[in-house]
Structure 1
Amino acid sequence: MSIGIPEGKDPIGYVWGEMVPGTGVAASNLSLAVYSHTTLGLREFEAARLRIAQLNGCVFCLDWRTERDGVKVEAESIDAVTEWRTTDAFDSAGRSAVTQPPYPEPMTSAGIRAASAIELLA
């Protein structure tokens, strides 16, 4: 999907503040909760987050780098997510974050739609 951003507008502020103002605050709070309450280490968190971004095709999310306590994951780890099937850059925790439930497929748009449908049927 492509969204036209008016000239002179900040893309993030425009989408979340003007296009979907009510949703923007809720999405921001959800995002902050995920970052604040994760039990994953930074490398595993970033690997799972990047894999979800790949599955969703979110260019913004692919460009974003999580920072925790002033530390970001090294570029080699980020590149390894693209090659997750063949790389030896992950330890078992990192590989699990990229490949095993509950990460990452349940967090994709399709996974969220499926989870919502299951809740409605319950």
Structure 2
Amino acid sequence: MNSPRLPWFKIAPKAYQAMIGVNTAIAGHSLGERLYQIVQTRVSQLNGCAFCLDMHVRDLRQADESWQRINSIATWREVGFYDERERAALNWAESLTRLVEDHGDRDAAFAQLQAVFNEQEIVDLSVAIAQINAWNRLGVGMRLPVAEKAMV
């Protein structure tokens, strides 16, 4: 296990509290917990954040998500395990996470969202994606360790 680079949350407690404040603000999101956790997991996979990936997979298991669906999040396009809303959300999450790689037109991804989400849900989803990207960058940058423990 790697050790953390810096205890950033102690060094910058105001910034940490602001991050927690955003989490609190989006806690009452309109997405449903399972969809929210699927998106959090996918973004954490894309960003290679071991700490957040471990946390969100555990949250999915606590929500009784199947191992097959969890294991297939990275390959969601190739399997039929995800419904239309989940697919639109995962596509949007990838688009907003891979900004440099996907500098093209996001209109198609947004239209896919509009077909299955209302405006509040689209905003909630977009803020949630932005927030997990921020957490991932801190997790990777500060090398937050993952404790080895049993997974149910």
TM-score interval (norm. to shorter): 0.5 to 0.7
Match for residue 15 of structure 1?
A: 8
Match for residue 33 of structure 1?
A: 25
TM-superposed CA distance for 1:30, in Å, is: 0.9
CA distance in 2, matches of 1:32, 1:77: 27
Match for residue 4 of structure 2?
A: 5
* Residue-pair matches, total: 98
Relative distance call for 1:59 and 1:21 in structure 2 (3 A) is same
Relative distance call for 1:89 and 1:58 in structure 2 (3 A) is same
Match for residue 47 of structure 2?
A: 56
Match for residue 105 of structure 1?
A: 95
User: Are 1:75 and 2:74 matched, yes or no?
Assistant: no
Match for residue 116 of structure 1?
A: none
The question of whether the paired residues in 1 share the 8 Å contact of 2:34 and 2:63 is answered with no
Relative distance call for 1:76 and 1:19 in structure 2 (3 A) is farther
- TM-score, normalised to structure 1, is 0.61
CA distance in 2, matches of 1:84, 1:27: 29
The question of whether the paired residues in 2 share the 8 Å contact of 1:84 and 1:95 is answered with yes
TM-superposed CA distance for 1:24, in Å, is: 0.7
- Superposition CA RMSD, Å: 3.0
- TM-score, normalised to structure 2, is 0.51
SS class of match (2:8) = helix
One-letter amino acid matched to 1:27: M
User: Are 1:86 and 2:85 matched, yes or no?
Assistant: no
The question of whether the paired residues in 1 share the 8 Å contact of 2:45 and 2:53 is answered with yes
TM-superposed CA distance for 1:57, in Å, is: 2.0
Relative distance call for 1:39 and 1:71 in structure 2 (3 A) is same
Structure with the larger RCO, 1 or 2 (CA within 8 Å, 6+ apart): 2
SS class of match (1:39) = coil
The question of whether the paired residues in 2 share the 8 Å contact of 1:48 and 1:104 is answered with no
One-letter amino acid matched to 1:93: R
One-letter amino acid matched to 1:19: I
One-letter amino acid matched to 1:105: S
TM-superposed CA distance for 1:87, in Å, is: 1.5
